[in-house]
Every structure is written in C-alpha cells, then in structure tokens.
C-alpha cells in the first residue's frame, strides 16, 4: 500500500486541530448551545450544606440551586424558549472544574470558592455567599482551638483547600496532625461522627448543615479560629462573556430587589427539607456587603488588608 504523503498527513492533522478549535469555540457559546438544544445542565452537589444538596430520587435543592433555577428561567425568557429542560449533574470537589471545562456541565451551582488559580480555568458569577472556613468537633472532645489538633486526625474533603488553609494558619505553626480525606462532605462528616476523625475542617455553612441533619446535633460544635474568608460563587465556562453577562444580570437583579436576602432566609434560617431541620446561620456582614456591591473578586482580594 502506498504510504500517504507528508503533505497529506500534515493537512489531516491541521484539519483535526481546526475541528477541535471549532468545537471548543462552539462549546464556549453556552447561550447558543442552550437555544439549539432546548436544554441546560446544572452542576449540583450532594452534600454542600444549604447551598446545594440532594433530596434523593435525582432531585436537588439549596440556596445556590434555587438561584440558578431563577437564572435559567431568565435565560429561557431571554432566548424566547417555550420550554427549557434543566438536567442535573452531581459533581464533586474533584471533578467539578473538568466537567465545566469539557461541556458536561453548563452552570455549576455548588459551593466553589472563587480564587485566582481557578479563574485561569473557569469563570465565576458575582459572589452570592461569603464563607468562613472553620473546624467542627465533637462537643465532648475538649478541642476549642487549632493548637489542640496536635496528633489528631483531621478530616477534609478531597479536592478542597481547607486543610492547606489550616496548615498555613499562623496558629498551626508546629501543630502536627494527620489528614484524612472524605470523597464528599457527607463522607467527611461521617468520619467525625464515627470517631475516625477528631475534627472536620470545611466551610462553616457546610459544617452547620451537616450538624443540623445529624442524628444528634447537640453532639457537635463549631470551634476555633476562622481559617479563611472566601467568596463562593456560581461557576461557568471561561471566555463566554455573553453567558456570564446573562447570569450576572439575573443574580444582580435578585440582589437589587432584596429577593436574594429572602432566599437566604429561606434556606439558612427556616426549616428545610427533607428533614425540616434549620441550619440557623444568619448572613454574615461580608455576604451582605457582596450583595450590596456585586463583584467577582477572587479570595486573594479578600485576603488583602
């Protein structure tokens, strides 16, 4: 068989690369993708506190899930679609960014911190929640500070930055502990609940949500120093300004009208399904400030003094 010429092979490679570039460009136009398919995929979490969690049977709920539902309803009107099929895709801390990048998920409505490193790979909507990273322990453990974590097992969730924040904290200097990883937040909390971990380091609302839904909430306590203040935001593909504008415009309308504060009260201060337990975590001043002056600043901006 005659070998293909170098020119033919080169042109074939060029064609393939061109096709990949074209596919990538098409994928970045999320509004066109939604309009053409009449469908959109929302990335959701199974145990991210009151921000995003599962109700079972493929149903999801939470503060960010409802915000995204409102956003997608506005986008449906913008595109003139008589119907929009909203599909749910459960994501984890480990796979959430790749699934947004490869087009599996169009809008991720979980508990993702907006930071400078992630902004290189994805885009974030304006901040809707400002988190404090804290430590949860058993109430009878006697642990009240970072210094008391020496020689303890500390749980966190794979793909998150919480333990790195703990290790970098000035009061963790010289404190040697063992890190144990849960596959998701529920798994990490189970480690604490079952005694396999002495502490669980994570976003305060995730800790509060898991404690509220536990068999005996009084058995747990959130203690110690605030490790970090982090902007949490809805995530989408990078380099898609039209879609980001549509998402931001919808969210900022919720902020301006005061509706976002009502949604926060619904999910954090009132009993929520499926167990009708109450998280009981009032909106922080930092969260209220983010609503008053909408921005998509990364956590590094919050760290500046």
Domain boundary among 197, 229, 261: 229
- Residues 78 and 153 placed together within one structural domain of the fold: no
Let me know if residue 91 belongs to a domain: yes
pLDDT of 27 reads: 52
Domain boundary among 229, 250, 270: 229
Average pLDDT, rounded, for the chain: 90
- Residues 60 and 198 placed together within one structural domain of the fold: no
- Residues 96 and 112 placed together within one structural domain of the fold: yes
- Residues 122 and 177 placed together within one structural domain of the fold: no
Q: Are 156 and 164 in contact (CB under 8 A)?
A: no
Q: What is the pLDDT along the chain (305 residues), one digit of tens a residue?
A: 444 444 444 444 444 444 433 344 445 799 999 999 999 999 999 999 899 999 999 999 999 999 999 999 999 999 999 999 999 999 999 999 999 999 999 999 999 999 999 999 999 999 999 988 899 999 999 999 999 999 999 999 998 878 888 888 878 888 999 999 999 999 999 999 999 999 999 989 889 989 988 999 999 999 988 888 889 999 999 999 999 999 999 999 999 999 999 999 999 999 999 989 899 889 988 999 999 999 999 999 987 75
DSSP annotation of 173 reads: T
Let me know if residue 238 belongs to a domain: yes
Q: Which residues span the domain enclosing 217?
A: 131-229
pLDDT of 19 reads: 40
- Residues 119 and 246 placed together within one structural domain of the fold: yes
Let me know if residue 18 belongs to a domain: no
- H-assigned helices in the chain: 6-28, 30-37, 63-79, 96-101, 116-119, 162-168, 185-194, 204-212, 241-257, 259-264, 285-292, 299-303
CATH of the domain at 284: 3.40.190.10
How many structural domains comprise the chain?
2
- Residues 104 and 51 placed together within one structural domain of the fold: yes
Q: Are 211 and 222 in contact (CB under 8 A)?
A: yes
- Residues 203 and 256 placed together within one structural domain of the fold: no
pLDDT of 189 reads: 97
- Residues 125 and 135 placed together within one structural domain of the fold: no
Let me know if residue 138 belongs to a domain: yes
Domain boundary among 211, 229, 247: 229
* pLDDT tens readout for residues 172-212: 888 999 999 999 999 999 999 999 999 999 989 889 989 98
Let me know if residue 203 belongs to a domain: yes
pLDDT of 26 reads: 41
Among 91, 100, 77, which residue's Cα sits nearest to residue 44?
91
- Residues 153 and 42 placed together within one structural domain of the fold: no
- Residues 237 and 124 placed together within one structural domain of the fold: yes
Let me know if residue 6 belongs to a domain: no
Cα gap 87→97, rounded to integer Å: 18
- Residues 152 and 242 placed together within one structural domain of the fold: no
Let me know if residue 27 belongs to a domain: no
- Residues 186 and 242 placed together within one structural domain of the fold: no
Let me know if residue 241 belongs to a domain: yes
């Amino acid at each position: 068989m005659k070998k293909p010429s170098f020119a033919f092979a080169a042109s074939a490679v060029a064609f393939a690369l061109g096709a990949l570039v074209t596919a990538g460009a098409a994928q970045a136009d999320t509004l066109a993708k939604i309009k053409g398919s009449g469908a959109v995929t929302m990335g959701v979490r199974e145990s991210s506190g009151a921000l995003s969690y599962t109700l079972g049977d493929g149903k999801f709920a939470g503060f960010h899930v409802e915000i995204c539902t409102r956003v997608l309803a506005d986008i449906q009107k913008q595109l003139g679609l008589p119907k929009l099929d909203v599909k749910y895709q459960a994501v984890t801390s480990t796979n959430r960014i790749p699934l947004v990048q490869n087009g599996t998920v169009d809008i991720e409505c979980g508990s993702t911190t907006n930071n400078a490193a992630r902004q290189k790979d994805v885009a974030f909507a304006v901040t809707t929640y400002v988190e404090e990273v804290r430590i949860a322990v058993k109430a009878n453990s006697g642990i009240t500070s970072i210094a008391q974590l020496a020689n303890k097992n500390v749980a966190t969730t794979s793909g998150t930055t919480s333990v790195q924040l703990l290790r970098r904290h000035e009061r963790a200097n010289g404190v040697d502990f063992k890190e144990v990883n849960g596959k998701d937040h529920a798994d990490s909390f189970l480690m604490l609940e079952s005694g396999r971990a002495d502490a669980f380091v994570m976003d305060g609302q995730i800790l509060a949500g898991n404690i509220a839904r536990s068999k005996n909430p009084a058995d747990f306590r959130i203690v110690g120093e605030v490790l970090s203040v982090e902007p949490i935001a809805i995530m989408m593909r990078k380099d898609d300004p039209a879609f980001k504008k549509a998402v931001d415009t919808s969210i900022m309308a919720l902020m301006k009208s005061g509706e976002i504060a009502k949604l926060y009260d619904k999910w954090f201060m009132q009993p929520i399904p499926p167990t009708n337990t109450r998280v009981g975590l009032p909106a922080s001043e930092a969260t209220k400030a983010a609503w008053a002056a909408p921005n998509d600043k990364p956590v590094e901006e919050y760290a500046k003094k």
